[in-house]
Structure 1
Amino acid sequence: MKLTYRGVEYDHNPPMLEVSESDILCNYRGRTHRYTYVGHVPFPQSQTGLTYRGAAYKTDRYGQRQSVSAAESNSVFSAFQRKLAQLTPLMDERRQMLRHSARSHSDSIQRSLERRIAIAREQGNSNLLQQLEDEMRQMA
């Protein structure tokens, strides 16, 4: 089919799909119709190397599973090890940051409890003082 876009002519050949009629009948606005469906629509799959529970495999462009040789499996594993080695310093830095924030949070809670205990002592509120001291023991 010849088409023109902004003065440029080109040929357009749409893909031909195999369309089949089903046995299912339907009514729409009083008219009977048959459902149609496409027989096969190919979806190109990406060719990737994958691992499931330690077993390496890959898929072809049709989505079919193919086994991986031991050499290819080792290369996938070594690539994973290299990636993990790159991430290890970042993970250590994140762990240190989380430890520091947890310590700061605990210190803040402890300061708050100490201030509340001092206020409860000044007011002579023995019930509140007992609860706050129990909470302080749970923190330790």
Structure 2
Amino acid sequence: MKLTYRGIEYDHNPPMLEVSESDILCNYRGRSHRYTYVRHVPFPQTQAELTYRGATYQINRHGQRQTVEQNGTKSVFSAFQRKLAELTPLMDERRQLLRESARSHSDSIQRSLEHRITVAREQGNINLLQQLEDEMRQMA
């Protein structure tokens, strides 16, 4: 395609991209449309030795992380993995504590709701009683 910019003519040949049509069917403003996307062309990554917060690691051509041997010992990542393994029982205890507190909280809400229902029955407030019973069904 011949184009001109400020009096200078040039040829513009945009790169042709291979477009694929997916199985995803979209609907936009009442009109059906198939989603299209450009075919993925993988770019090989360069191998690099990187450091993050003192931990040295290496990226291979596929973008995957590999630990680096330092002075005959494993890198800081293996030390981090050991530390994480030590903390796992503590994390399990914390999860259990959170489960117990959530259970205690829901029991407290249940008791409060039951008390409010008995008070609404005693007062004869039918509208409030219906709302509280709906709330009780939602909790169950």
Query: TM-score of the superposition, structure 1-length normalised?
Result: 0.50
Contact 2:55 2:77 in 1 (8 A): no
**1:95 maps to which residue?**
95
Structure ranking higher in helix proportion: 1
1:71 match: secondary structure: coil
TM-score, with structure 2 as normaliser: 0.50
- Residue segments in structure 2 that go unaligned for 5+ positions in a row: 1-52, 60-65
**Corresponding residue of 1:111:** 111
Report Cα offsets for 1:10-67 as digits up to 9, x if no partner: xxxxxxxxxxxxxxxxxxxxxxxxxxxxxxxxxxxxxx5147xxx569xxxxxxxxxx
Whole-angstrom distance in 2 between the partners of 1:69 and 1:108: 50
Q: Is the 8 A contact 2:67 2:75 kept in 1?
A: no
User: What is aligned with 1:83?
Assistant: 83
Residue-pair matches, total: 80
Do the aligned partners of 1:113 and 1:136 also contact (CA within 8 Å) in 2? Answer: yes
With over 3 angstroms needed to count, the CA separation of the structure-2 counterparts of 1:137 and 1:118, relative to structure 1, is same
- Name the amino acid aligned to 1:122: E
Residue 71 (structure 1) aligns with:
69
Higher-Rg structure is: 1
Aligned equivalent of 1:7: none
In structure 2, what is the Cα distance between the partners aligned to 1:125 and 1:74? 71
1:75 positional shift? 2.2
* Structure 1 runs (4+) greater than 2 angstroms displaced: 72-75
Question: Which structure 1 segments of 5+ residues have no match?
Answer: 1-47, 58-67
Q: In 2, distance between residues paired with 1:69 and 1:132?
A: 58
Check whether the contact 1:120–1:126 (CA below 8 A) recurs between aligned residues.
Answer: yes
Summarize the alignment of residues 9-24 of structure 1 with structure 2, pairs less than 5 Å apart: none
Partner Cα distance (2:92, 2:110) in 1: 27
What percent identity do the matched residue pairs reach? 76
Q: Could you tell me which amino acid in structure 2 is paired with residue 78 of structure 1?
A: S
Check the 8 A contact 1:49/1:56 in 2, yes or no: no
Q: Output the amino acid matched with 2:69.
A: A
1:69 CA drift (Å): 7.0
- Of residues 54, 66, 75, the one that matches 1:49 is 54
AA aligned to 2:137 is: R
Q: How does 1:28-39 map to 2 (within 5 A)?
A: none
RMSD between aligned alpha carbons?
2.5
